[in-house]
Structures are given as C-alpha cells and as structure tokens.
Structure 1
Amino acid sequence: MPLTETLPVTEAVAQWDVWGTTARLVVEDPAGLPAARGIVVSELSRVDDACNRFRPDSELSRLPADRWTEVSPTLADLLAEALRAAERTDGDVDPTLGDAMCALGYDRPLAQFSLSGAAGPLAVRVVTRGRRDWRDVELVGSRVRVPADVHLDLGATAKAVAADRAARLVADRLGTGVLLALGGDVATAGPDRRWEVLVSDGPGEPAQVVALPAGGALATSSTRSRRWRHGTREVHHVLDPRTLLPADPVWRTVSVAADSCVEANTASTAALVRGRAALGWFAAAGVSARCVSADGTVRTTGRWPA
C-alpha cells in the first residue's frame, strides 16, 4: 500500500478539498470507489449541516439560548462525543470555546485569512472563576440546553467523529476495506489488513511510516497548522481553556494511535494543551503517541510505532 500522504489518485484512491484540508479515500476494491466517495461526501455534508459554526444555517448556529431543544441524531452524537472528550481530559478539550475563538479572529473559514498585515496587539485575557464551560452544557438523549452566554465549537472532535463514521459506513455498505484521512485524522474499517501511514511534520522534517490494523485510527494535532495573524503575532487554533489563548507550543505536533479516530484526536489535542505533562499522562495511560517538540526532538510513549 503506498503511503497515504503521497498517494497518487488511482482507480482505488480519491482526494478532494473539504473543511480547509484534504480528504483522502482509499478502498481495497476499486470498483467500489465511486460509491464509497458518495457515502463519504454525504456523511461529511450531514456533519457540516449539523455543526459548522461558520454557517448561520447550521443546526448548531440555530440552537436557541438556554432552552431545551430537540436536535438531530447527528448533532446529538457530535455533542455527546465532544462532552465525553471534555470529561476524559478534565476539560482540556472543551467545546465551549466558540466565543474565545471568535475573540482571536477565528470567526470565518481559515481560507479567508491572511498571514500578512497586522492590527492591534494581542490582548491578554484574564479568565474569571465564573466562566461557563463544558459542564454547563446539558444533553439528555437528543435534547440539549446550552447556556445563553456559551457558543459551541465542536471543531476539536467533529472531524474525527466524521472520519470514524464515514469509514464504517463505507465498510458496512460495500464490504470493502477502507482508509479515510481528513487532514490529520485517519480512520480505517473493513476486512482485516494493514495500512501504511506516513506521519510527518512536513518536507525535511521528522517523519515515520507506521502500520495501522484494520479498524485502527491515527490522529495528529499541531500548533503549526491552522495559524492566522491576530494583532502583531501569529496564533493557532488549539486553545488552553484556562487562559482562552493558544496553548504554548511545547509540541509542534502530537500523533496518537488508538481504536477510534475521535479517541486519538482527543488525546493528541489535550497533549498540546498539557505540554510536557502530556508525556507522564500518556505513559500512565499506556497511550501510543509520538510527540515532536518545538526543536524537532521526537519522544514516543506506549507501543508506538508497533
């Protein structure tokens, strides 16, 4: 199997732009590629309709404030996964940072940003004890209530959930092995096999080929991607919920292998927030991870890269 990051577009491979990144779809049976792509596109569209915070017509954007509301099964699942991620990471991956993202200028798709020019200096934010967080969002089945002063951003988990869901749908409906990569979120499903994945920080940067079993997943979170200029400096999209500012770039990338993409993504995102403390956390939990520091030093934990 060719490396997924350098795959040619053959009869078994498709790729296209989505959500400011690249979707790469690989199937074992080339005859099933058109149908597989249709399944993936449909699922990604369903997720986009449910939780795209940049679309005023998305279900998430139309949630009324502080009122119990029945939502679609898709949005309910996405919210449940986001709240589970927050609980598993003690709030390091918090879906209630929508306003903080907007305050830093991330109020539109990143493709509309420019890294040139400058406005005022980056404001120092003081967080009060009374700030709302993920624990104030209530979800019971398919009914949700969001406080009036909270705006949700499910970006930390929704893409990974979408990768998991779409890969499983392709495997279940077409009976073929499938790998789906949505940027740094890689999900596999279907008959037993091994998939080779290139984990890299970019050309000339630390790189490694790892093997994923069928049903395995890999997620890479980065402080180097999704950057834009705010004031006189560049900022990135992984915020520390304690300061509401970008996490210190102790790690430039963290990659985690797990049984699901959302599990891997949750851990890799939390690691960027926790900085050096992530190594001890990963070691204690047996997480298989690859952490690349700001100076390019590579540290691994668990069974990586087995």
Structure 2
Amino acid sequence: MNAPVNADEWAVWSTTARVVVTEPETLAAARVLVESMLSEIDLACSRFRPDSELMAAARSSGPVRVSPLLATLVEVALKAAEDSGGAVDPTVGSALCALGYDRDLSTVDVDGVTLAVTVSGWRSVKLTGNTLTVPKGVVLDLGATAKAFAADCCARLVADALDTGVLVSLGGDIATAGPAPANGWQILVQDRADDPSCVITMPADKAIATSSTRSRQWRRGDRLLHHILDPGTGQPAPGIWRCVTVVADHCADANTLTTAALVKGHDALALLRAHDVPARLVAADGSVRTLGGWP
C-alpha cells in the first residue's frame, strides 16, 4: 500500500509554491485554498499585470479608493518600510522598471539600457483607511512583502478551514500554522545549489524567510543585476551577502529583516542583533555567520 501523499507543489510568480499538510486527506482542498488566495493577491497587487488593482490605481491621479485586500498589502509594505528605517521601500518599483525588471524575469529585455531613477521614498505614499494616494509617476513594488504576507495568510487559511497543520512555501518565504509534525517542520536552508546548506527543525506557528542577491538576477547590457535595490541609490544593493535567512513569528516580519539586511550590507549584523532574531547570513565568499541562537 502506498504511503499517503501530504505535499504538493506548482509554479507560480516565477518561483515554486509548495504546500505540506499533517493530515494527508486535506491536501487537495489545501491546494485549492492556496491557489485561490494567491490569485486574489496577484490580481490585487501585481505590477506585471495591467489589469491589477495596483496598476489601475497608479494610472489614476489623486486619491483612489482600493479594496480592503490591496489596502492591507500596502499597509504591510509601509510598515516594513518604517520598521526597517526605509531599507525596504515599496517605491523602488520605478527604479526596478528603469533597470529592466518591468515584466516577468523570463521575458526581460537583455539588450536594453539601464536608467537612473530617484526613489521617491515610502513616506510619499499615503494610505488612509482604504484610500490610497501614490505620487504621479511612482510604481509601487510590493514584492518584498506581498509574497511573505501571502505565505502567512495561506497557512492560516488552510489551518483554520481544514483543521490541519500546514506549511506553505513560496520560494524563500515559508509560513506554518496549526500543529507541527511529531518531529517538527524540517526545513532545508539553502538558496542556490552551490551555497552552503543546513537543515533546521522549526516548531509550530513559526515562519522563516530567505532573501537573496542571486536568485532573481537578470542581465541588462553588460550588467548583471538583482532585484534587491538600495532605496538610497535606486541600484542593486552591494553583494556583501549572497543570502540572509531569519526565523520569526510571521513570514512578513522575517522577510522584512532579510531584505533590509541585504540592503544594509556591512551593517546587517547590527540590524539583526538589534531585533534579536535567529539569523543566518552567507557572505559573498560562501562563509556563514549565525546570530540570535540560530538554529
């Protein structure tokens, strides 16, 4: 007799979605719930879809009434900006477009030129209730927070609806909810195949995020670029670290810290110590630093 299957995965958002449940009979329903939630979030805030609510709001002049979902996604992004001292800034979208990342990575124009764009700064975005005001010409990129927030939402949705323990992984963003397996959630921590790896045991209701300067790269002319931008320069953050991983109660919080650490470069260690979180950093030369009682 075959062992019950308790995991499923599929391609989404230029990465891989994976769902693992502790109750195998809930797997099919769990995937349906996760796919539905991801579709709603994509339609709300994708900057690669002209029909997304976010892009429609960007084309409007002045304040725009938005859905509760988009308002929440923008609120999460602005909170990340505030908590990170501006290192994680949703207004880098315009700079990403100028660098060529204005479409899915698989279709980026490698022969184009890169332009310098000043990042307007997250404080230029106003959100009052469900009313959003974005400065003219500014493209919001919620990628640094929306994917992690989606993992949090999907995990909680599945656990509550199906009475199962669940792990939801969206690329480097992993959230859990409900009871963990008997031996905890076993997580392989590794960004690229040539990076050093480790396996950690994570208890129930914890999350882990990894941000990388190597996983989302594209070539533009003679430049190799990556998607983690320094809001102060509008250019890719220096590659002091290959990747940073953080464990926290919520994936959105973990991802905020990992992204900010890559932007901060040499100051990443001080940032992570100040937040007292378990963290693992892989330097450009492949050496590993751990903080906060990792793992």
Q: What TM-score comes out, normalization by structure 2 length?
A: 0.94
Letter matched to residue 189 of structure 1? A
CA apart distance, 1:192: 4.7
Distance 1:158 1:202 in 2: 22
Give, in angstroms, the shift of residue 214 of structure 1.
Answer: 1.0
Q: How far apart are the structure 1 equivalents of 2:111 and 2:100?
A: 12
Counterpart residue number, 1:92: 87
Tell me whether 50-59 or 201-210 shows the greater mean CA deviation.
201-210
Looking at structure 2, the residues matched to 280 and 232 of structure 1 have their Cα atoms a distance apart, in angstroms, of 34
Aligned positions of 1:87-236 closer than 5 A: 87-113=82-108, 118=111, 125=116, 127=118, 132-193=120-181, 194-236=184-226
| Deviation sequence 1:16-63 (CA, Å, 0-9, x none) | 000000111000111101100000000000000000101000000100
User: How far apart, CA to CA, are the structure 1 residues paired with 2:168 and 2:149?
Assistant: 12
State how many pairs are aligned.
Answer: 290
Deviations 1:223-276 (A, max 9, x none): 011100112121000000011000000000100000000000000000000001
Q: Structure 1 residues 85, 144: closer, same or farther in 2, change over 3 A?
A: same
Deviates more, 1:35-44 or 1:142-151: 142-151
Contact (CA 8 Å) 2:98, 2:117: kept in 1 or not? no
Q: Give 1:246's aligned residue.
A: 236
Spell out the pairing of 1:12-23 with structure 2 (5 A cutoff).
Answer: 12-23=6-17
Look up the equivalent residue of 2:284 and give its one-letter code. A
Q: Distance in 1 between matches of 2:112 and 2:194?
A: 33
2:66 is matched with which residue? 71
Q: How does 1:255-266 map to 2 (within 5 A)?
A: 255-266=245-256
Q: Counterpart of 1:284?
A: 274
- Structure 2: distance between partners of 1:105 and 1:247: 16
C-alpha deviation, 1:98, in angstroms: 1.3
1: CA distance, partners of 2:40 / 2:112: 36
Q: What is the aligned partner in structure 2 of residue 24 from structure 1? A: 18
The 1-side partners of 2:4 and 2:191 are apart by 25
| Correspondence for 2:261 | 271
Counterparts of 1:95 and 1:205, CA distance in 2: 28
Alpha-carbon distance in 2 for matches of 1:27, 1:66:
45
Deviation at 1:191, TM superposition (A): 2.0
Distance in 2 between the 1:101 and 1:206 partners? Answer: 29
Which residue type is aligned with residue 298 of structure 1? V
Code of the aligned partner of 1:215? D
How far apart are 1:205 and its partner, in Å?
2.7
Structure 1 runs (4+) greater than 2 angstroms displaced? 117-120, 201-205
Percent pairwise identity: 54
